A and B are shown apart, each in its own frame.
Chain A
Amino acid sequence: MTEPALVLKSVTAGYGDVPIVRDFSASLQAGSITTLIGGNGAGKSTLLRAIYGTNRLFSGQILFKGDAIERLPPWERLKRGVGFVPQGRCNFPAMSVAENLKMGCYTLPGSVHDAAIDRVTSAFPMLSQKWRTEAGNLSGGEQQILEMAMVMLVEPALLLLDEPSLGLSPKMQGDVFATVQRIAATGVTVLIVEQNVRGALLISDGALVMEQGRLFMEGPAQQVRTDPRIRQAYLGGNIQQTAA
């Protein structure tokens, strides 16, 4: 078994003086896709933000590739290979696709910008076709692809995705899941929070289930999606191959 890419040790995190995630411990294997499941307000997005460093960590440790990163600001975590695509539209709507990609290179030295953008546009040809279009004028699915591409420019080893298929048509959701699989196939570890639990579990290796800020269950995705409690709470019946 390979070394875990990410280890969370007793993480308690939240906003202001209010802890939302409590005493959460888990580890992600390098190159795996893990779905984080939980009801509204369970603390899924809070946990992703804590890993990237955009909210308050009350206590606990976050180890990335063996190094403690919990005291680093987000830009330093990004430089070390932790990428985060937050929930909702997370691009620069009044900038063109080209400018958004340029901003994705912000932490890279200028000499490698063109090569990084070439690499990403080869992986996502849609971006070249919409080169001069303002990001705000792209469809929801196109914006989601753009946002993932902006983070992929820095070649992260860990990609945190918060609701990437939110508000997308079933067809576009399938495209987004396929994109996530392609990214993971290159060796990137993915931790995904998804309202389409069924679709996310089908592309995942593992799953973590949260309830009221705490870890409720963890295990292989196959095992979690056949657990009667999970099926009843999040899947509403039989799982069929609808994604990927």
Chain B
Amino acid sequence: MTVDATYLVQLTLNGIALGLLYALIAVGLSLIFGVMEIINFAHGELLMLGAFAMAFVLPVTGLLYWPALAAAILAIMLVGWAVYEVLLVRLRTDEFERSILITLGLSIILIHLMQYFFTATPRLVDTQYGFNGVEIGSIRITWTRVIGAGAALAAFAGLYLVLRYTQFGRAMRAIAQNREAALMVGIRPRVVARNAVVLAAGLCGLAGAAIAPIQLVTPYMGQFLIFKAFALVIIGGLGNIPGAIAAAIGLGLIESWIGGFFEIAWQEGAVFVIMIVVLFLRPDGLFKKGGMRVG
């Protein structure tokens, strides 16, 4: 098999863009796990709702990308707030099994509600950018991918600054590192947990809205993502945010290369085989574990 350099670069860029979107989900999952010690199995559905929100708002804004993106993020943050206040607030930190049932149940309900109201027919989402893109030599990448990747990078930078330099963000790291010490200094765990869920939902909303013009939008689009994101959180070193981002970009690249060089049927299966092998070899992940590390 001969490898065309242009094709390889193209696949690599697509892989990075895909990886950054995975990272948005994995980081949100990591945030919620760090603060609440639960895995939100409905996280993929928040992405799906973000994509649907983008699909619904774009026609209202006359296909203008940025206002629709902002509206979708805000809408999913609101959904995150409601999910926390109605369901997650009732969970104690020692109720991991109950959290699985609740969030998995929510995931299934959301999928079927969306299918009931909007059908399972895949939607193609158009924006002001259409299929326009940047061309560097013979390499071409669409604006929607460039902007999606750029927005993800900006979100990570913003998240880093918040977690590192504000009391709002430090409180999340504090609870992740030592719950009792957090109470000692007067942190209110429920307020911080709500903030973490809303922030994580915002990242998911961004991922969903950014992915909507890139791939078909369906009620099922978030279903497998949660399992990938869960594995990424572990591979990245549970609670290690830069670790989760690095693992997500790695996964995006591998997925893109496998999809580009082999039959598409191999893509999903191979990705999970690789993740299982990594977890066998390094059960605690590739990077230092714990403490919601930000650097």
Contacts and interface: CB of A to CB of B under 8 A. Distances in A.
A24 interface: no
Contacts of B292: 94
Interface size class of B (residues with CB under 8 A): 20 to 34
A150 interface: yes
Contacts of A103: 167, 170-171, 174, 182, 185, 187
Given A75-B188, A99-B170, A102-B167, A91 B178 contact: yes
B177 interface: yes
Contacts of A93: 177-178, 291
A75 B173 contact: no
Contacts of B113: none
A74 interface: yes
Nearest to A108: B186
B268 interface: no
A93 B289 CA distance: 12
B271 to A, nearest CB: 30
A38 interface: no
A106 B173 CA distance: 13
Contacts of B187: 75, 103, 106
A99 B170 CA distance: 8
Given A102-B167, A102-B170, A106-B171, A91 B186 contact: no
Interface in B157-186: 167, 170-171, 173-174, 177-178, 180-186
Given A54-B183, A102-B170, A106-B171, A92 B177 contact: yes
Nearest to B292: A94
Contacts of A85: 184
A102 B166 CA distance: 10
B178 A90 contact: yes
A92 B181 contact: yes
A73 B190 CA distance: 12
B291 A150 contact: no
A84 B184 contact: yes
Contact of A95 (B174, B180, B183, B186): B174
A107 B186 contact: yes
B166 to A, nearest CB: 10
Q: Find the residue from B173, B181, B291, B293 having the highest chain A CB count within 10 A.
A: B181
Nearest to B293: A94
B184 A94 contact: no
B293 A154 contact: no
B184 A92 contact: no
Q: Find the residue from A52, A78, A86, A106 having the highest chain B CB count within 10 A.
A: A106
A94 B171 contact: no
Given A94-B290, A94-B291, A94-B293, A106 B177 contact: no
User: Interface of chain B, helix or strand or loop or mixed?
Assistant: helix
B180 A79 contact: no
B241 to A, nearest CB: 12
A151 interface: yes
Interface string A151-164: 10010000000000
A79 B185 CA distance: 10
Interface string B278-295: 000000000000111100
Contacts of B182: 103
A9 B244 CA distance: 51
B145 to A, nearest CB: 35
A104 interface: yes
B178 A106 contact: no
Q: Find the residue from A79, A85, A94 having the highest chain B CB count within 10 A.
A: A94
Nearest to A84: B184
Given A73-B188, A106-B167, A92 B183 contact: no
Interface of A: 52, 54, 73-75, 78-79, 84-86, 89-95, 99, 102-107, 110, 147, 150-151, 154
8 closest cross-chain pairs (CB), A and B: A94-B291, A107-B186, A75-B186, A78-B186, A92-B177, A90-B181, A106-B185, A103-B185
Given A86-B184, A102-B167, A103-B174, 18 more contacts: A54-B183, A75-B186, A78-B186, A79-B186, A86-B180, A90-B178, A90-B181, A90-B184, A92-B173, A94-B177, A95-B173, A102-B170, A103-B182, A106-B171, A106-B185, A107-B186, A110-B167, A150-B184
22 contacts: A74-B183, A75-B183, A84-B184, A86-B180, A86-B184, A90-B180, A90-B181, A92-B177, A92-B181, A93-B177, A94-B173, A94-B177, A94-B292, A94-B293, A95-B174, A95-B177, A102-B167, A102-B170, A103-B174, A104-B185, A107-B186, A150-B181
